Amino acid sequence: MESPTRRTILKAAFLGPAAAAVSLEALRAAIPSAHAAFEPAYASPPRRFLTAPEHGFIEAAVARIIPADDLGPGAKEAGVADFIDHQLAGPYGRAEGWYMQGPWHQGIAEQGYQLKLTPAQLYRAAIDAIDRHVRQEKNKAFDELDAASQDAVLNAIDQGQLDIPGVPVRKFFEMLVQNTVEGFFADPIYGGNKNFIGWRLIGFPGPRYNYVAEIGQYGKRYDMPFVSIGGRDAGLKEA
Note the pLDDT tens digit of each residue in 93-150: 999 999 888 888 877 877 788 899 999 999 999 999 999 999 999 999 999 999 999 9
Query: Residue 40: is its pLDDT beyond 80?
Result: no
Question: Which three-class secondary structure state does DSSP give residue 69?
Answer: strand
If you ran DSSP here, which 8-state letter would residue 40 be given?
Answer: P
Residue ranges in 66-146 assigned as alpha helix (H): 80-88, 91-94, 119-138
d(CA 231, CA 229): 6
**Domain residues of the chain, as ranges?**
6-214
Between 44 and 150, residue with greater pLDDT = 150
CA 155 to chain centre: 17
Rounded to 5°, angle at Cα 75 from 132 and 189: 115
d(CA 5, CA 14): 13
Rg, the chain, Cα only: 19
Tell me the pTM: 0.81
Beta strands in 75-225 (DSSP E): none
Contacts for 135 with CB less than 8 Å, ≥ 6 apart: 141
Per-residue confidence (pLDDT) for residue 105, from 0 to 100 = 81
Per-residue confidence (pLDDT) for residue 218, from 0 to 100 = 85
Region 197-214 average pLDDT: 86
Query: Residue 19: is its pLDDT beyond 50?
Result: no
Give the residue from 43, 20, 52 showing the smallest Cα distance to 202. 20
d(CA 157, CA 204): 33
Region 55-79 average pLDDT: 96
- How far CA 125 is from CA of 10, 91, 165, 227, in Å, comes to 29, 18, 11, 37
Rounded (10°) angle between helices 169-185 and 147-158: 120
Above pLDDT 70, what percent of the chain? 78
Q: Please say whether the beta carbons of 157 and 61 come within 8 A.
A: no
